[in-house]
Amino acid sequence: MTGPAKSGPLFSISAKRCTAVRDRKDKVDPADFTLEGLRGEEAGRVPGTINGQQFIIQNCQSSQIFLLDHINTITIDDCSDCTIFIGPTTGSVFVRDCQECVVVGACGQFRTRDCCRLEVYLLCQTQPIIEASSKMKFGCFQAFYPQLKEHFSKASLSVFNNNWSNVYDFTPVDGETNWSTITQPSALPHAFPLPRTQSLASVGLSVVEESSVVPYTLGSPQYHGQEAALVILFYDSDQHHRATTFIAGLRSQVADCRIQHSREVKMEAVDAVRVFQGSEHKAAVSRGPIIALLCLGTDVHQACTVLAHNTGVYVTPDSSIGHRQIDSFFSYASMSMTM
C-alpha cells in the first residue's frame, strides 16, 4: 500500500509540471508580432516567423516594412511615409489614421478609416471599404517570393478572386471622389523599394508583373466596345496551374492582351444553366469551383479558342450570345461575393 500511495501524488505533480512547460512554450509573445515606433528603419518578418498569427504595426514613420509570411489579421495604425508589404492574410487588414503610405497586401477583407493619400496595391476576396478617407489610390496586387503560393494556400485565399477595384466608400462626399484606380503594372515597382537588409532581401521578393503569382487585372468587369472572351476553367486537381499556363499562352499570342477581371467561384447547377444558357455544363460545375478570366485584346476570342481546344476549357461565343453570358456570369459572381 505504501508504494502506490506515494506514486500517485508524484505522477500528478509531474503531469502538472509538463503541462506548465507546454503552456509556456505555446504562449504567444505579442512583441514577436508587433512593429512599433520605427523611424527611418527597415524591418519585417521572414517566412515561418508569423505562421498565421495576428500582427500589429503602429506609430511608424518613414520606414520600410515587409511581412513575408501568412497572417491571420493585421491592424496598421498611425503610420506615415511608410512602404508596407503584407503577406496573405486570412481575415482583415484594417488601416487607421495613416497617410502618405504605400501598402501592398493580399487579404480576405480590407478597410481603411481616417486615412489620406495612400497607394494600395491589393488582392481582396471581398469588396474593399474606405471610411472617412480621401485621396486614396488602388491598384492590383503583384508580387512573388518562393513561398508566396504556399502562403496563399495556408491563408485560404484564391489568387484568382480579386476585387481590388470594387471599392465601397462608406462616407462619400458630394461632388468629390475619395478614391481612384491605378491601371499601369509599372506603377508598383516605381513606388515600392525592395528590402536591402540581408535577412529580408534573401527571401527574394519581387513586385514586377511578369513574376507575380497573382494575375494582373484591370479591375471591374467593364468591357463593352472591346473584343472580349470569357474563359471558364472547370475544376480539377491541376486547375490553378492550367489557368496560369493559359494566361501565359494568351499573352504570348495577343500582344495587347489584358485580363480585365478574374474570379474563382462555386456554381450550382441551376446557375450554370442560366449562365451558359443550357444544361451542357451542369456536371462540370458540380466537381468544384470554376475559374473565370475575362480576356480583352485584338483577336482575343480566336486566340482563346485555339488555346482551349481539347483542354476542357469553355470560351464564350464570339457573338451577342457570348456577351449575354459574360454579363450573366459577372452578375452571378457579384451576387455570390455578398452572400
Domain span at 334 = 228-338
- Residue with the larger pLDDT of the pair 10 and 198: 198
Please answer whether residues 261 and 322 qualify as being in contact, where contact means their C-beta atoms are separated by less than 8 angstroms.
Answer: no
State the binding site: 91-92
* pLDDT per residue as tens digits for the range 78-135: 999 999 999 999 999 999 999 999 999 999 999 999 999 999 999 999 999 999 999 9
Q: Is the dihedral of CA 281, 284, 288, 291 positive or negative?
A: negative
Assess if residue 1 is contained within a domain: no
Q: Which of 24-28, 192-196, 272-276, 333-337 has the lowest mean pLDDT?
A: 24-28
Asked if the model's pLDDT at residue 5 lies above 70, the reply is no
CATH number at residue 187: 2.160.20.70
Assess if residue 201 is contained within a domain: yes
State the binding site for GTP: 91-92
Assess if residue 2 is contained within a domain: no
Strands of the sheet with 258-265, listed across from one edge: 258-265, 290-296, 228-233, 313-315
> Looking at the DSSP assignment, which residues form a beta bridge with residue 95?
76, 112
Task: Kindly state the cell numbers that stand for 303.
Answer: 486566340
The structural domain count of the chain equals 2
Instruction: Give the Å distances, CA to CA, from 22 to 13, 19, 25, 53, 330.
Output: 14, 5, 5, 18, 50
Predicted pLDDT of residue 7: 47
The Cα 33–Cα 67 span in angstroms is: 10
Q: pTM value?
A: 0.87
Please answer whether residues 102 and 84 qualify as being in contact, where contact means their C-beta atoms are separated by less than 8 angstroms.
Answer: yes
For residues 101 and 234, membership in a common domain is answered with: no
Asked if the model's pLDDT at residue 28 lies above 80, the reply is no
Task: Kindly state the cell numbers that stand for 282.
Answer: 451542369
For residues 48 and 163, membership in a common domain is answered with: yes
CATH number at residue 253: 3.30.70.141
Single-letter amino acid code for the residue at 17: R
- Residue with the larger pLDDT of the pair 164 and 1: 164
Assess if residue 77 is contained within a domain: yes
Task: Kindly state the cell numbers that stand for 6.
Answer: 506515494
Predicted pLDDT of residue 6: 46
The whole-chain average pLDDT of the chain stands at: 90
For residues 150 and 45, membership in a common domain is answered with: yes
Assess if residue 24 is contained within a domain: no
- For residue 85, the Cα-to-chain-centroid distance in whole angstroms is 12
